Amino acid sequence: MPSKLKQIAQLQLILTEMEEDLGIKDNSTIEKRVLLALADLSSSDEAVATNDIMDHELIYGFSRPSFYRALLVLEEQGKIRKAKSIRGFYALSTE
Amino acid sequence: MKEHLNNFLIVSIAFIVANSVTLGFVLPLQSLLLSGSQLEIGLLFLPHGVRILSFYFFGWRAIFYMLPASYLFMLLTNGIGANLDTLSPVVSMVACYVGFVVGSVLITGQKKQLSFRIWKFFVVVGAISSLFNGLALSWLQHSGTEIISIIGYIIGDVAGLIACLIILMYSFRLARLAGSEDSN
């Protein structure tokens, strides 16, 4: 059974790569929520503290690791950026 | 033994579904749109996708997993007017597997696999596998290498492989999206 699960996981990995290459990979629910929370909290180009995003009601129920992973993914995708030289502040990407 | 039986069932079901769609939908549509095309050559041959994925996951054993379903569909295809040779399922499976191995060795030998996403590797290896399949089937069906039929096999197989991957991708995507909707 574990080998069968491994094969399914491999297949899913291959198809996820295909989705990425075709540019149709969706962001996960937590990633969408983080983006929406940041958009809700930020006015103009203002930076938002990570703690404030985490306390937003859209983020309620998600674990801290999932939250930070989502921040990282969104930053890598260029949808958000670190806003200040000090850590813990994010802003929506202007690109 | 139980694992082989499970693999056989999974591969057979996938192969039968892919063949059924090809036989029941693609071939009638093809003969409707392209009246001059040969019934023996499907221009969107979905089972090639199942073949390549099975070779990737199960190696040479996949030949034996797919042979019974392959023979079943040879009989059905002949029943609707095609004229496939009795040996064509065996020849096709073996040729495809040899092509798959040759393609894998060629790509791995050139150390290109690192820059290749696996799905692209499937497409390239699938095309090489299809070339071998086309050469073997063309020799079997027409007692010689008919360029047109070989090109037909390659187009059908590669298009079928890509369609098969896209169908799987959207199936997983739907399952994932449905799962994330449920968890909210």
B20-51 tens-digit pLDDT: 998 888 888 887 887 666 656 778 899 999 99
Question: Are B88 and B73 in contact, with CB atoms under 8 Å apart?
Answer: no
Chain A environment of B120 (Cβ under 8 Å): 21
Torsional class of B145: left (φ above 0), alpha (ψ -120 to 50), beta (otherwise) = beta
**Domain boundaries, position B40:** 2-183
Residue B60 has which token pair?
């040479």
Tell me if B169 and A19 make a contact (CB, 8 A cut-off): yes
Q: Inter-chain contact B172–A15, Cβ cutoff 8 Å?
A: yes
Q: Do B172 and A21 touch (CB under 8 A)?
A: no
pLDDT of residue B79: 82
The count of structural domains within chain B is 1
Distance CA B157, CA B162 (A): 9
Q: Please give the Cα distance from B95 to B106 (Å, whole number).
A: 16
Looking at the partner chain, which of B57, B117, B184 has a beta carbon nearest the beta carbon of A7? B57
Q: Give the list of residues 6+ apart from residue B121 with CB closer than 8 angstroms, or none.
A: B107, B113
Which residues in chain A touch residue B165, judged by CB atoms under 8 angstroms apart?
A: 15, 18
pLDDT single digits (tens) B68-119: 999 998 888 888 777 788 999 999 999 999 999 999 988 877 655 456 778 8
Question: Between B169, B180, B183, which is nearest A18 by CB?
Answer: B169
Cα dihedral across residues B148, B151, B157, B161: positive or negative: negative
- Residue A78 φ/ψ region, left for φ over 0, alpha for ψ in the -120 to 50 degree band, beta for the rest: left
Domains of chain A, start order? 27-92 (1.10.10.10)
Tokens linked to B149 = 């039929």
pTM of the model: 0.72
B121-176 pLDDT per residue, tens: 899 999 999 999 989 988 887 776 678 878 888 899 999 999 999 999 888 888 87
Per the structure block, which two tokens stand in for B144? 């010689």
Q: CA-CA distance, B127 to B98, in Å (whole number)? A: 12
Nearest CA to B162 among B61, B10, B43, B58? B43
With beta carbons under 8 A apart, name residues in chain A contacting B122: 14
Residue A84 confidence class, pLDDT cut points 50, 70, 90: low
Question: Which pLDDT score, from 0 to 100, does residue A2 have?
Answer: 56
% chain A with pLDDT above 70: 87
Question: A59 to chain B, minimum CA–CA distance in Å?
Answer: 12
pLDDT of residue B37: 60
Cβ–Cβ under 8 Å, residues B129 and B94: no
Which residues in chain A have their CB less than 8 angstroms from residue B57's CB? 7, 10-11
CA separation for the pair A95, B16 (Å, rounded): 48
